[in-house]
Amino acid sequence: MNGPIRRIAGFLFIAFGLLLLNVTYIQAIATSKYRDNPLNPRVAASISGKERGLIITADGTVVARSIADPDDPSRFTREYPEGSVYAPIVGYSSLLFGDEGLERVYADDLRSRRDLTLSDVINALMGRDLRPKSLELTIDNDLQQTAFDAMGDNTGAVVAIDPTTGAVLAMVSTPSYDPEVMLAPNATELRNALLDDPEEPLANRAVSRTYPPGSTFKVLVASSAVENGIAGPTTTFDDPLEFPLPGSTSTIRNYDRGPCGDGTTVTLSEAFRKSCNTIFATLGLQVGAQSLYDTAVSFSFDEPMRFDLPTQQSFFPDPSDLDGPALAQSSIGERDVRATPLGMALVAAAIANDGNLMQPYLVSRIVDATGETVSQVTPEIRTTAVSAATATIISQMMEEVVASGTGTRATVPNVRVAGKTGTSDASSGSPAVWFIGFAPVDDPTIAIAVVVLNGGEDATGGSVAAPIAGQILGHWLQP
């Protein structure tokens, strides 16, 4: 009777073999069918996870927090009370998609360390505090909300900086998204819709995109000319109708297709106020590729930008790539010149701060669970872009732009505002239109860059970006 016993045992072993195949199928092959099924309560719970620290603004507004699950106090749901206003900065934390924004960069501080990794166990046994830490931002919530509202339906970005410290006071990128969609039961579907959106709502345009700076780049050309003793505000230039590009039949013209002044001669100051391309093309050639490049670098172009969020570099071409026509076009912020809104805000901030460009930062303090400060940022000078004397001269010219030039719509009553507009050359569609500036001129507390990308074919920095900047500056200076 050992025969039947062997046969029955054989059947049992085949049955166990089927079990092995079946669990392998479920747990190794068709895993995602079950793991990521919307009916799986873990998908909803993946939203919730371990506790993470708070993220609060400089004035104490909570922009990210963890709420304990009433059924299971060891699980937490992440909430973003200010939603899309802060999404480009704060990002989100999702078990499905990983972390983004500050949630990603500061994940090690924000997350609870009670994760059962070997080092966590050792730390726990040594009595270290494993609770999550909190971030305090430099953002002023009022200003952030104002900037977000001022942008309205525009596509673009706003960066406001305290020029004396480098603290970012506001950073807006529109259109934005609600970070809580990443935690919704149908998050995959909603996220795919955001990824497919041609408006790129998931991008932080303030730091991760570069645009042609247009005439705002004239601030750097003028700075370079003054710093190198090539021209001053009262230096006069011939005022032609157009500037012929060397060795080419094309020309550079002014925005209104006319001469800059009366067609005879014009001062640098007037050319800056009216943003005359003809004069700045001439000036760029006088300054020379190497000097202009050096000035751009001193304003943090072509340099890796250390910042709390992943940031693109602003770009100015290598002098060896700049022949005459290229240099002339680059001098009006066209051709291959590209800048991030953060980069242009730093340019304005450097002029505002006597030529000292401060290292920008977004997180001012990291605080542990007991409220003790773990680390705190001390403002530091990143580069000296120009001398204080040069900065003063450029500042005066920028003040005239707002007082009676292209930037009058950025005016704030009873406040001296300095600025520069910019409108990139768009062969089709909307140009990138800019306003960069700072205020009050005698003791600046805010420097700003506004860029709008969908103002329409006729949009200019003066007509579209300057009013937005004026609104934001007005709110900051006249609360």
Partner 1 sequence: MNRDAEAALLVGATVIASLGVGLVNLAQGGTFDAQVALTFFVFAAAFGALHVALRRWAPAASPYLLPLGSVLAAIGFVEVYRIDPHFAGLQRWWLLIAAGLATLLLALFRNTGVAPLRRYRYMFLAAAVGLLMLPMLPTSWGFPVRGVIVNGSRLWTTFTLGPLRLNFQPGEIAKLALVVFLASYLAERQPALAESRKIGKVTVPEPRHLIPVAIASIAAFGLLVSQRDLGASLLLFAVFVTMLYAATERTAYLAVGSSMFLAGTAAAAFTFSHVARRFEAWLRPFADPADTGYQILQSLFALGSGSLSGSGLGVGTPDRIPAAWTDFIFSAVGEELGLAGSVAVIAMYALLVAVGVGIALRSRDLFRKLLAFGLAFTLGLQSFLIIAGVTRLLPLTGITLPFMSYGGSSLVANFLILALLARISHEERT
Find all residues with CB under 8 Å of 338, minimum gap 6, and list them.
210, 211, 212, 213, 314, 315
Instruction: State how far the alpha carbon of 229 is from the alpha carbons of 218, 226, 292, 332, 364, in Å.
Output: 16, 5, 13, 20, 39
In terms of CB distance, is 114 or 416 closer to partner 1? 114
In terms of CB distance, is 178 or 368 closer to partner 1? 368
Quick note: the x/- pattern for partner 1 over 11-40, rule CB under 8 A, is: -xx-xx-xxx-xxx-xxx-xxxxxx-x-xx
The answer to whether 375 is a known catalytic residue is no
Site size for partner 1 (CB under 8 A): 38
Q: Which of 96, 121, 236, 270 binds partner 1 (CB under 8 A)?
A: 121
| Binding status of residue 249 toward partner 1 by CB under 8 A | no
| Binding status of residue 122 toward partner 1 by CB under 8 A | no
What residues numbered 98-117 form the site for partner 1, per CB under 8 A? 114, 116
| Per annotation, catalytic residue among 48, 173, 176, 215 | 215
Q: What is the closest distance, in whole angstroms, from the C-beta atom of residue 120 to partner 1 in the complex?
A: 9
Find all residues with CB under 8 Å of 56, minimum gap 6, and list them.
62, 63, 134, 135, 136, 137
In terms of CB distance, is 40 or 463 closer to partner 1? 40
Q: What is the closest distance, in whole angstroms, from the C-beta atom of residue 34 to partner 1 in the complex?
A: 3
Whole-angstrom distance, CA of residue 51 vs CA of residue 134: 11
Quick note: the x/- pattern for partner 1 over 59-98, rule CB under 8 A, is: ---------------x------------------------
In terms of CB distance, is 42 or 128 closer to partner 1? 42
| Binding status of residue 126 toward partner 1 by CB under 8 A | no
In terms of CB distance, is 71 or 457 closer to partner 1? 71
Query: Do the strands 156-161 and 446-452 form a parallel or antiparallel pair, or are they unpaired?
Result: antiparallel
In terms of CB distance, is 41 or 429 closer to partner 1? 41
Q: What is the closest distance, in whole angstroms, from the C-beta atom of residue 92 to partner 1 in the complex?
A: 21
| Binding status of residue 192 toward partner 1 by CB under 8 A | no
Q: What is the closest distance, in whole angstroms, from the C-beta atom of residue 54 to partner 1 in the complex?
A: 19
Interacting residue ranges for partner 1, rule: CB under 8 A: 1-6, 8-9, 12-13, 15-16, 18-20, 22-24, 26-28, 30-35, 37, 39-42, 45, 74, 114, 116, 121, 124
What residues act catalytically?
215
